[in-house]
Structure 1
């Protein structure tokens, strides 16, 4: 065919046919809706909220079932946790000057868990926009709190927890067991993440909350008692432990700085017990102390006279 020859109709049909054979893009059902705070109105429909919630729960259950074992699932939850920069450099004797590193903010952009958390935010905004405080809203917020705590995404569980206790519970009461559970999360969040020990005690007194393990966590934070803190971190349940972990970085820093001020050297196992962390992990965190062949950690070296 010459360049000047017209294009035959059959050629045009062939090209069109090729385009028609392309598979259509499948939209993610959880991404169908936008954020109500950005103008989305379809989630103002109560039936749409309930259908959307069922999709979220179904996807979450499939996500959990797809994990090979509990450890793998824990790692995936931990991958969304707030991460911190290197811990500290304790190679010098002036350990008091070591700053506590700031946590990076949560970025819900990738991964199945991120999609689920973002969908829960949309649902939460839809429930807020319609002023729901019925059984459905209660169950949705409870699910939101549990998933977000496992991911340590406080930007998701904090507003859900506050609304559950302060907005929904007065209208649709939680059971005594449930109320105790969620007040416990609130107290631990105030103490361990926000660093508001006084606020945590105020919440405890207002609700007449009693739980020996939670109270010991508060006492350990007030007294800077890392021995009791590590013990209670292991004693609380899985959800509580994820909230308590917000305070472990500060507790570890305090323990290591105390070692830096009080010891020239110490056994590796003792350092690991004080920091509740393996030696190699401490090295990766930035601890600059030296480990000898005799398994002794050199914390400070005598100054030459």
Structure 2
């Protein structure tokens, strides 16, 4: 009689794979960019939950930066960089049977967290744009994104958000008169200080009937190359306006130092620092080649021999 062997059950995946720890992911990395095909962020409730995660992480970043100059340096150093390309490799045949590892989120922020926060803001902004949302939540979210991006001097984030807030959201869900003045002022300062489009800045000022004396002083100081008024105004404006004005600092400083070079043979170091709105080491680092003497006097140029 022929004997029949019992069919053997197919072996499952190796037990070693099931014992691996779940992959830990950042809560802000759960979703991809809507412009790259992500659709889960089009849900309104998901948007609101994601927004709260962004705000929480942003506040933790503020608290961990220590405030003051440390916070300013942290903002200045942060910018979203393009993700490096991921090398695509062909999986081995045995990989096909390996189960997908479960993933869990981590509440621990990254040490260098602002680029990740800015990227999350971009995801939320694209989701709000894709879902055509212009309600009160969209307004509040855009206000937060714009202000945080301005402080980090990341114009790639605040410029499109600012235009959408003023041109698309405001006609549907109006900003308060004070908010409209503030954000129209940011738009004007961006045109004048970063883009150096003074005519466009005056046109926007007229269109919104802006009545902000400090913004007007900044515009006029740029028109007349009046670095004294520019430095004085920069010291009294709020942090958002000051961050946008920073884009014009090098241009105004260079003009001021050129004027000194034409008009003075020598000057006191403190006077030069006030004129350039920077310390002497910062000016030297920026390219100033004048000679500082032990007396504190700076030789700008020597008189021509007769």
TM over 0.5: yes
C-alpha distance in 2 between matches for 1:273 and 1:111 = 34
Q: Which residue of 1 aligns with 2:49?
A: 51
Distance in 2 (CA, whole Å) between partners of 1:47 and 1:68 is: 33
Partner of 2:247: 246
Asked if 1:167 is matched to 2:165, the reply is: no
SS in 2 for 1:26: strand
Q: Report the counterpart of residue 81 of structure 2 in structure 1.
A: 107
Q: Tell me the distance in 2 between the aligned counterparts of 1:51 and 1:234.
A: 38
Q: Distance in 1 between matches of 2:208 and 2:264?
A: 43
Report the Cα offset of residue 16 of structure 1: 5.4
Consecutive unaligned residues of structure 2, counting only runs of 5 or more, are 1-13, 84-110
Q: Could you state the TM-score of these two structures normalised by the residue count of structure 2? A: 0.82
What is the CA-CA distance between 1:47 and the residue it aligns to?
1.5
Q: Hey, what does 1:87 align to over in structure 2?
A: none
**Matched residue of 2:196: which SS?**
coil
Question: Pairwise mapping of residues 74-85 of structure 1 onto structure 2 (< 5 A)?
Answer: 74-80=72-78
SS at match of 1:152: coil
| TM-superposition CA deviations, 1:147-202 (whole Å, max 9, x none) | 00000000100011110010000000011111111111111111111101111111
In the alignment, which residue of structure 2 is the partner of 1:65? 63
Does the 8 Å CA contact 2:181/2:212 hold for their aligned counterparts?
no
- The answer to which of 30-39 and 225-234 deviates more is 30-39
Q: How does 1:268-279 map to 2 (within 5 A)?
A: 268-279=269-280
Give 1:107 shift.
2.8
Question: Any stretches of 5+ residues in structure 1 without a counterpart?
Answer: 1-14, 82-105
Match of 1:138 in 2: 139
> What does 1:93-242 correspond to in 2, within 5 Å?
107=81, 111-242=112-243
The 2-side partners of 1:251 and 1:108 are apart by: 31
Query: For 2:38, which of 18, 37, 40 is the aligned residue?
Result: 40
How far apart are the structure 2 equivalents of 1:246 and 1:191?
9
CA–CA separation in structure 1 for the residues paired with 2:178 and 2:242? 18
Higher Rg: 2
Cα distance in 2 for partners of 1:69, 1:118 equals 22
Q: How far apart in 1 are the matches of 2:67 and 2:199?
A: 40
- Preserved CA contact (<8 Å) 1:108 1:117: no
RMSD of Structure 2 on Structure 1 (CA): 1.8
Counterparts of 1:218 and 1:226 in 2: how far apart (Å)?
11
Secondary structure in 2 matching 1:179: helix
Q: Does 1:26 align with 2:27?
A: no
Deviation at 1:65, TM superposition (A): 2.1
Q: CA deviation at 1:77?
A: 1.2
State the distance in 2 between where 1:276 and 1:107 align.
30
User: How much has 1:21 moved relative to structure 2?
Assistant: 5.7
Distance 1:68 1:23 in 2: 35
Give CA deviations for 1:67-122 in whole Å, capped at 9, x if unaligned. 334332222112227xxxxxxxxxxxxxxxxxxxxxxxx63669211101011011
Deviation of 1:20 (Å): 5.8
* Secondary structure, aligned partner of 1:297: strand
Distance 1:276 1:265 in 2: 18
| Worse-superposed segment, 222-231 or 107-116 | 107-116
Give me the whole-angstrom Cα distance separating, in 2, the residues matched to 1:231 and 1:108.
37
